[in-house]
Structure 1
Amino acid sequence: MNRKELLLITAVALGTLLNPLNTTMISVALARLQEDFQLTFADISWLISTYYLASAIGQPVMGKWSDLFGRKRVFMLGLFLVTLSSSLAPLSPSYGWLIGFRIIQAIGSSALFPSGMGMIRSQITSRQARALGILSIFSSTSAAFGPSLGGLLLHYGDWPLIFLCNFPFIAGSFVLAWKVFPNDAASSGRASDMDWRGVMLFCVAIFMWLLFFLSLSDGYSLWKLAASVILTVWFYRFELRRSKPFIDVVFLRQNINVTLIYAQFILTNVAFYSIMFGIPSYLQRVQRMDPQQTGLVMLSIAGFSVLVTPIVGRWIDRRGSKPSLIVGTACVIAGALLLLLIQDDASVFTIFLALCVLGIANGFNNLGMQTSLYDFVTKEETGVASGLFMTSRFIGTILSSSLLAALFGESITTAHLHSMAWTCAGLGVLMFVLTLRLPQVNRPVAHEKAG
């Protein structure tokens, strides 16, 4: 890998880490925000869910825009929006304003992954798994580092620092992208090329599903479920008739492997983000840890994710994605079952052991899922495929916040933690089954075909 390629990867990595980092960094601050704005856990879950919702919608929209209007342009636009929101969020006069600025932040950071991945795949043609491994350390594992960094920032300041700490990453990404990204060709895309009615239907359907899942904490809402199903079917049938659809449902129907990868990634993120948001709140409320101690304990997930990711990248280059996913999904099951050992007076070692196994699972699954997706899509499809991949992530995170709201509600107990652990173990079993049916692909051959 030459110097220019390394700088390009670094530029993309510094940008793409902003979304997952800001997704989880705020988890340690939830208790503090509840006190500051006088909220219940169900209320504060809207701060998480709206960020997920905006990201779920923003990822495929920005992926399509990067394909239409140029990857460098969309990447720079995303950095600008994150800068704007990170500057204004600490000044929020109310909880509603804070949610609004977080939505802007989510949309801006959503532009960075699909445009950045499109840039990587077009500029780096050999050993892409290793390049994706470097990106995974920065982006996917930054989600695991979020609680640890958030805990340190809360210890030495207050929740506004969680937004202000974005600026070094923004500045580094902007300078490198400005220098090393090739200029976009003259744009042949037009705003009218965007399937705006499809986007609106997608937004309404996703929002309706969010309302349904968040309502589960108060009981089962039949009309919300019915409305969600009807809107989803309507969206699917509408996109089938479009010559330039927002989401190519024909492609998804014809390529079952890609569809199942998205489904598995949803399950992966339900389990991962349930743990990333549930454990910090549990440690502070039940185990009586302060934010700094909580952040240090959560560092076990991040540390082991980073440790295994380079190894996984080399393994995937030699053996393909499937073996790494088998190990990763097995670790999800094992780590979730280890959470059952945690009691009200649990030792730090017991908690650390369970989180280490879950960190290993995160490292194997994140890179394995990314490389598995690119085995089945061409370079020309990278932007929209990457956007849908991240939409799958945020559908999973929306489900995780709904699960936590249903389990924890007004209070958090060890029994609730164990219920979450059993749920995550069940999800791990489903992930393992989906992995076993995934075809084994020789990556060098796959890339030759994609090229």
Structure 2
Amino acid sequence: MTDQRTAAHERTTATGFDRRLIPPVMLGSVLNPINSTIIAVALVPIGAALGAPPAQTAWLVSALYLATALGQPIVGRLIDIFGPRRLFLVSTSLVGVAGIGGALAPGLGTLIAARVLLGFGTCAGYPAAMALLRSEARRTGQDSPAGVLTALAVAGQTIAVVGPLLGGVLIGVGGWRSTFALNVPLAAVAVALGLRLPKQPRRQESARQGSLAGRLDLPGMALFAAMLVALLLFLMNLRPGSWYLLVLAVVAAAGFAVRELRAATPFIDLRVLGGNPPLLATYGRALVAYVVAYAFLYGFTQWTEEGFGLSAFHAGLVQIPMFLVAIAVSVTTGRRTGVRGKLLVGAAGQIAGCLLMLTLTTASPLWMLLALSLVFGIPQGSNNLALQNSVYHQADPERIGSSAGLLRTFAYLGSMIASATSAASFGQHAGTSGMHHLAWVMLGAAVLYLLLTVFDRGLRHLGQQPTEPPGAK
């Protein structure tokens, strides 16, 4: 039996990356994108059905990303310790439960709760994928499985193409509740594929001593959660009376920093992270990049429906050129190992898109909306791939799961800022003046993204040759 296993292992090694892992990795990583894009065209129908203005339906966006922002680094840490299989199966099962809850929700509050559960359910896919890629790279001796990393990025883009159109079709056929019910069969397939993942973790952290609670750093996780929740509530209630929420966020952040610096096995090792400025810069770029990306996805889509007068189906069609261009950009540049050029192209695309967005009115021809979607496809494709590859090279290999989770956390912080900005810009109605206000905020974030890229000298040689990531042990 041992000889057979050894022979099977040698055959797998000879062929490189274990291709049997690709289907569960791909599906798990796209559960979040498909729910993100579908809800973009469902916000207006949900608001109309439940009598909720854009300022309230914005919580359907923020709730999912708050849960995912909290869950991904936590689940990523569990994956670092225990391996991906168990966490993947539990999390994807929650997706099906959330789909049932959303389809049967009697009101907006229950619907928001379903989105929270959906966020927790989709948070294992990406950290599990990155952990498996890193373990396979170690096993095969291939420092950067560029083809698989590109496929991972393209899978998200492909699903994003389907999302708005599929959302429009589902709403037209079965109403907005069908966009939640879709998660039930998706979860079933994800669980079935997840059973193919290794039962034993391929790489386990060396520090296995101590209690489970000690290794998980529950106080650190609680402070991290308190910080994010207080910050989101502040962003969603930008008025003078909400100042105390910002104070609570700052206090929780300070407590979190103190705890992590003293903990024997910290949830997020701030010493290692602080000694890895390139990775911190990548997280900063992710935050501002996704402020622009999600403000366009949600805010602009709401304007095309309420301000411009398109149906949910046609609003979804307007988004398709963006995702088609994103796929083309990812495929074209995916085999190129450098990331700086991709980031600069993405920054230029974001700035050009924001400037074009400022020229739109309700009298603009439809082709201008499609042209804007095409322009935003360039940063959508180049930024996602470049940020993902940056973390792959810059993160400590022993914490690749939690590092990948943190990348998504910063991205979702950007989405929360985008959602809060959209709510503040539109108020009770997604009109043209609100869309222009949103575009100015997006332009500021795009310029900051460009500056963070231009002045980061560490990007010049990143990914161009096999190197040990900063902070690696």
- Normalising by the smaller structure, the TM-score range is over 0.9
Distance 1:152 1:83 in 2: 21
Structure 2 segments unaligned to the other structure (5+ residues): 1-13
CA distance in structure 1 between the partners assigned to 2:325 and 2:185 by the alignment:
25
Between 221-230 and 190-199, report the one with greater CA deviation: 221-230
Q: CA deviation at 1:261?
A: 0.7
15, 18, 25: which one aligns with 1:12 = 25
In structure 1, distance between residues paired with 2:124 and 2:64:
14
1:220–1:121 Cα change, 3 Å: same
1:251 is aligned to: 272
Residues 198-236 of structure 1 deviation map (CA, whole Å, 9 limit, x = unaligned): 1111111111111111111x4563322222222212211
Match for 2:301: what amino acid?
A: P
8 Å CA contact 2:390–2:462 kept in 1: the answer is no
Query: Does residue 345 of structure 2 align to residue 327 of structure 1?
Result: yes
AA aligned opposite 1:329: A
Q: Work out the CA distance in 2 between the residues paired with 1:356 and 1:156.
A: 28
Whole-Å separation in 2 of the counterparts to 1:4 and 1:153: 37
Among 216, 224, 249, the alignment partner of 1:202 is 224
1:407 aligns with 2:425: yes
Report whether the alignment pairs 1:443 with 2:434: no
CA pair 236-70 structure 1, distance change in 2 beyond 3 A: same
CA contact (8 A) 1:75 1:115 kept: yes
> Does residue 146 in structure 1 map to residue 159 in structure 2?
no
CA RMSD of aligned residues (A): 2.2
Please list every run of 5 or more consecutive structure 1 residues that lacks an aligned counterpart in the other structure: none
- Secondary structure at the aligned position of 1:221 is classed as helix
Partners of 1:178 and 1:398 in 2: how far apart? 33
1:99 Cα offset (Å):
1.6
Counterpart-to-counterpart distance in 2, 1:170 and 1:138: 17
CA distance in 2, matches of 1:393, 1:140: 16
**For 1:214 and 1:375, how far apart are their aligned partners in 2?**
35
Name 2:413's counterpart in structure 1: 395
Matched residue pairs, number?
Answer: 447
Distance 1:273 1:303 in 2: 17
Distance 2:157 2:400 in 1: 18
Q: Please name the residue that 1:174 is paired with.
A: 191
Task: Please say if residues 322 and 372 of structure 1, whose CA atoms lie closer than 8 Å, have aligned partners that are also in contact.
Answer: no
Rounded to whole Å, the distance in 2 between the matches of 1:442 and 1:4 is 23
Q: TM-score, normalised by structure 1?
A: 0.93
Separation (CA, whole Å) in 2 of partners of 1:281 and 1:70: 40
SS of the aligned residue for 1:247 comes to: coil
Scaled by the length of structure 2, what TM-score is found? 0.89
Which of 20, 36, 40 does residue 27 from structure 1 map onto? 40
Alignment partner for residue 364 of structure 2, among 316, 322, 346? 346
**Residue identity opposite 1:149 in structure 2:** L
Q: How many Å apart are 1:173 and its aligned residue?
A: 3.4
1: CA distance between counterparts of 2:95 and 2:16? 27
Q: Which residue of 2 aligns with 1:60?
A: 73
Q: Aligned partners of 1:349 and 1:140: how far apart in 2? A: 22
1:443 is paired with a residue of what secondary structure? coil
Query: Which residue number corresponds to residue 158 of structure 1?
Result: 175
Q: Deviations over 1:365-404 (max 9, x none)?
A: 0000110122212322211101111111111111111111
Equivalent position amino acid for 2:117 in 1: I
Higher gyration radius (CA): 2
Alignment match of 1:371 (pick from 385, 389, 412): 389
